[in-house]
Structure 1
Amino acid sequence: MESGLSSLLNVSIDFETSHLFFPTIIHWIMAGLFALILVTKVAPFLVAVKRGERTLPIVGEPMDAFRFFGTLALIVAYFYLMAVVGNMFPYTGYGFLFVSIAFVFLMSLMYMHEWTKKAVIIVAINAIVAPGLAWFILAKLFNITLP
């Protein structure tokens, strides 16, 4: 009887796959929540659209092509240049810092409706302070490696 009890209390861990335990649980929880959202929110909305009570919010709306494609281009350039600049200053996080400053500045300018001197100065200060603060907290305080 002792051998049966000791086998119940014996724990063996497969270290090659043990790191996948919690991500697998999280994936299933997220899939379940996604299905729940589809059933409770999207399906009734589509039924209302089919009956003519509601309309799809995107169809028929004018599109700002400059901002849409500009945003896509800036995001692609941001991730590409972060690696390029990060390789110039390895293990410092300067790739994140310098490219994030330019990204925030250009993205803010692109979405700004009125370009006044005061607004551009505020955007420039925000573009320096926000990524600088994030870089300082992540790279210096928490020692998180940034590109």
Structure 2
Amino acid sequence: MAKKQKPKNQHERTRVDHATEIAEDYVEAIAEILEEQDVCRVKDLAEHFAVSHVTVNRTVARLQRDGYVTTEPYSPVELTSQGAKLAKNSRRRHEIVLSFLIALGVTEETAATDTEGIEHHVSPETLSVMEAFISKAHH
């Protein structure tokens, strides 16, 4: 996860949390794109998130500064080992939350949308309980 400083106020905490969510979403997307096509470019991320190249460049620069990706101008984006670890953990959380919501009877479309918000805020304890629920539901 991104290095979290002690927030001075709730608004700062919200900004720090939001930056962490974006980092998780980006490294997860980069990992998926790399699996699909062996290379991830800024244009791939811009298409994936439906945002401008400028937005992607700014976010990738922050991810590079924080040690999650490496890239050079006009070169592909690659995950560092720290970025790959964050992507793996983020994907695992995503899959557990999605499976949990579906096991509860939420439609796949709604579960997919809701997972995008929940996955970033779920505590390790809640995630563990969700995982236990899923395994009981499948037996």
Same fold by TM-score greater than 0.5: no
TM superposition score category, shorter chain reference: under 0.3
The TM-score normalised by the length of structure 2 is: 0.25
Q: TM-score, normalised by structure 1?
A: 0.23
State which structure, 1 or 2, has the greater radius of gyration over its C-alpha atoms.
Answer: 1
